[in-house]
Structure 1
């Protein structure tokens, strides 16, 4: 049984099926080539190791052992096969990054060359070789409604044909030393504790609390890293949420609204991963190819602005809410969805940066990096899908709406604590005498924005909209909607009478 991003024993179809076949070896492979990719980070490896320790203990209770092997997958399987031939390989399907997709193709070729049957099972409500989206919602509902699989009561384990070797260190894998000191811990035990706390207590804050960076750390479920690494199964989370909904008393309106909205987000989770499953190239190519060349990429040289990129990733843009979000991200590895969208919007419009290098940076920064959601959202927020409404978040307006008293900004940016309330949202405009009185120097303690926000945003939107208006760009939209658009019309919100065609509304 090959474990990848499914680090649990509960509701684990490969384990249940493999246990019926005969003696079983459970392996996780640390693949150096995958940890060398630009979306991999030290914090991800630490989370994986913590999850593997949890899994190791769970297998020991069953009388088995988890073997953590190091090497490229095909090489490891070949070595194992030569030492102890096996007839079948069991795993979950993985919708990962492009290198993992190419790795899976190579493993498939190896299995065929050795006569090994490779049985893969769905991990999420994502459908392999999906022809179109017409039946997708019904198939998602059928998947999450299936009973969760219990851990098998009897498993015969086979020994590894060589001595176990400890996994390599993060340094040995060449992972950059920086890591958020206060990220969430890995492992199923930690994930179950977060799930229980959310369903039992915090879900009442979910609706209305997930947008503000002040309330979001407790209002959001915080389950995303445990779903991304498979410490919890999507199906068990959906079913646990529905059970909690059914048991709520009639007076629990806020919790009912929160849990209902949360289930909508779980559906949304698979909807976006399905995009990458159906079109793996969207990780590095514009979903709508008519947008190629819109923003310059670093490798193209001319037009790419390294100073803008450096200001963003170091939290020195001068827009307080943006820089505070980057500071929180560096410390915790997590941000709520609206603040993530704002970062990508600022990068894509006023800073006019290509989504790919920004996405690689954010992939390393997010402890809950899920390739399918991540790259779909990067393109959607950057406006290169061709089917979604242009989303542009003004960081000054977002600060006024979601941090009006500056509590979040002043917590994460110590220099802002000395800035008077009158200059909280645009501190770079402080007159010299005000700077002197509060002891804050614009351009030193607080950076100046690299561009005028209003002008740069207006010019960027004009470029995007001019491209969208071209007949050949509009003509190509229908094919993208047919392949990737949602077929489920969500409930309308108070702010929008009707969601834009072909997209899921997030106004939940």
Structure 2
């Protein structure tokens, strides 16, 4: 055993199962004090919102109840983490701080460095543990799948400790600690997905045994994705479940379906294999962000850093509030504001529309989207913004036509009618023809889609054709591009799909 007391600094790992921080802490230290800091500086960032704060409050409250059953608790504080640690150290000298390797934004990276420096200055051991298949500091792209398999495929999820030792004195102070009242919760908050560890496992079970049957072929539709999609992205984002727990649970169900020989079992296998491919891709994108953290500030490819965006304020306002006059775009934005969720294709479409049709900089739209994504994950978010804006330099420049998407993904205008009351009584034909014959009481299209996107495509493809762009793109592809993923023995997985927009949802769905 090491020193008598270690701090488990809870960040985005609100769970007991498969928590390496907790498991190693229990093995190595006599007592573990769980600490959660709700940091005002983090809450004040432009990409944070009440949606995220409430998710963390919900998750930590559930975790607190679970820990109480194991004779422990969570010390809650509303300060910068260093101030909280100094306060705790005045009460109880601790010898270590244990936490997980958060793949966060620039602010959290700098905060973690400050904590590390503080620990060094006070002779406190500071150690981070992984919770994904991402290698801290980076890895050669050709070795990433092997590394991911070693973390996710080859290791079983860690069990919940039977007991978490904590002296009654510490436990009592933890139980007495409180966070300030949460203000600003909207009336529609009951539409937000629940973020707790028990809920995560319920969602996983329902997906693998019932809802996931329609995953393959069903997640592009905004109508079907709420049920056919995994709905696990929010739990991965806030750490109420791990990729490893998900992977091994899905494998258990796959083995059951592989025993059968029927069209039903074939569909189940197709859906769950597609899902596992996205689970792998999710960590791939987070690995890219871990290795190139400036994706938060500038495009991956340097030649795309001076795109001629107009950034008109009236266009931004119309897009944010779902008043562009493009029914599917407006329905998506209104749905996001209300529920915090839409499926990947709809997210990709609305980013593409903002950047290519409205000529809005992907960095400008970032805080408006991150703030209404219940499952906001920085490593996924920044990569997808650049990809859908066409500035990554290594991915297909794809411009989603909202009229085409409306015809294909919402042909009966069910989704549009649900989220745009002004169109609830309009005929299906009228909704589909709104761009030519505007419906009274609903905004006219604010741009001519064809001419607006023609201008942006010309700019993007012009850069793409430059010899210097191709040279840099080849270099980026070597560092971050797609690799074929052979089936590993025992994993029962097919090769990963080639890079296509639909294969890169990364558990947005």
- Counterparts of 1:254 and 1:505 in 2: how far apart (Å)? 18
**Is 1:30–2:38 an aligned residue pair?**
yes
Match of 1:97 in 2: 105
Equivalent residue in structure 2 for 1:338, among 339, 345, 352: 345
Are 2:71 and 2:163, in contact at CA under 8 Å, matched by a contact in 1? no
Equivalent residue in structure 1 for 2:87, among 79, 89, 96: 79
**Is 1:186–2:195 an aligned residue pair?**
yes
Which deviations, in whole Å up to 9, do the C-alpha atoms of 1:183-228 show, x marking residues without a partner? 1112111111111111111111100000011111101010111111
Are 1:41 and 1:176, in contact at CA under 8 Å, matched by a contact in 2? no
Match of 1:197 in 2: 206
Equivalent residue of 2:220, what SS? coil
Are 2:35 and 2:75, in contact at CA under 8 Å, matched by a contact in 1? yes
Equivalent residue of 1:207, what SS? coil
TM-score (norm 2): 0.90
RMSD: 2.1
- Counterparts of 1:322 and 1:57 in 2: how far apart (Å)? 41
Which deviations, in whole Å up to 9, do the C-alpha atoms of 1:245-264 show, x marking residues without a partner? 00112221111111111101
Equivalent residue in structure 2 for 1:447, among 440, 443, 447: 443
Displacement of 1:317 after TM fit? 0.7
The 3 A distance-change label for structure 1 pair 250 and 295 is farther
Unaligned residue ranges in structure 2 (runs of 5+): 1-7, 488-496
**Is 1:8–2:4 an aligned residue pair?**
no
Match of 2:289 in 1: 276
Which deviations, in whole Å up to 9, do the C-alpha atoms of 1:382-417 show, x marking residues without a partner? 011111110110000000111112121112112223
Match of 1:42 in 2: 50
- Counterparts of 1:488 and 1:417 in 2: how far apart (Å)? 46
Displacement of 1:332 after TM fit? 0.8
Are 2:72 and 2:166, in contact at CA under 8 Å, matched by a contact in 1? yes
**Is 1:485–2:496 an aligned residue pair?**
no
Match of 1:218 in 2: 227
TM-score (norm 1): 0.90
Match of 1:292 in 2: 305
The 3 A distance-change label for structure 1 pair 162 and 316 is same
Are 2:11 and 2:36, in contact at CA under 8 Å, matched by a contact in 1? yes
- Counterparts of 1:422 and 1:307 in 2: how far apart (Å)? 29
Equivalent residue in structure 1 for 2:402, among 395, 401, 406: 395
Are 1:428 and 1:447, in contact at CA under 8 Å, matched by a contact in 2? no
Displacement of 1:504 after TM fit? 9.2
**Is 1:356–2:363 an aligned residue pair?**
yes
- Counterparts of 1:284 and 1:377 in 2: how far apart (Å)? 14
Are 2:197 and 2:240, in contact at CA under 8 Å, matched by a contact in 1? yes
Match of 2:4 in 1: none
What count of residue pairs does the alignment treat as equivalent? 481
Unaligned residue ranges in structure 1 (runs of 5+): 297-302, 432-439, 492-497
- Counterparts of 1:428 and 1:264 in 2: how far apart (Å)? 37
Equivalent residue of 1:91, what SS? strand
Are 1:31 and 1:71, in contact at CA under 8 Å, matched by a contact in 2? yes
The 3 A distance-change label for structure 1 pair 74 and 179 is farther
Equivalent residue of 1:40, what SS? coil
Within 5 Å, which residues of 2 pair with 1:365-376? 365-376=372-383
Within 5 Å, which residues of 2 pair with 1:199-348? 199-248=208-257, 249-251=260-262, 252-296=265-309, 303-348=310-355
**Is 1:382–2:389 an aligned residue pair?**
yes
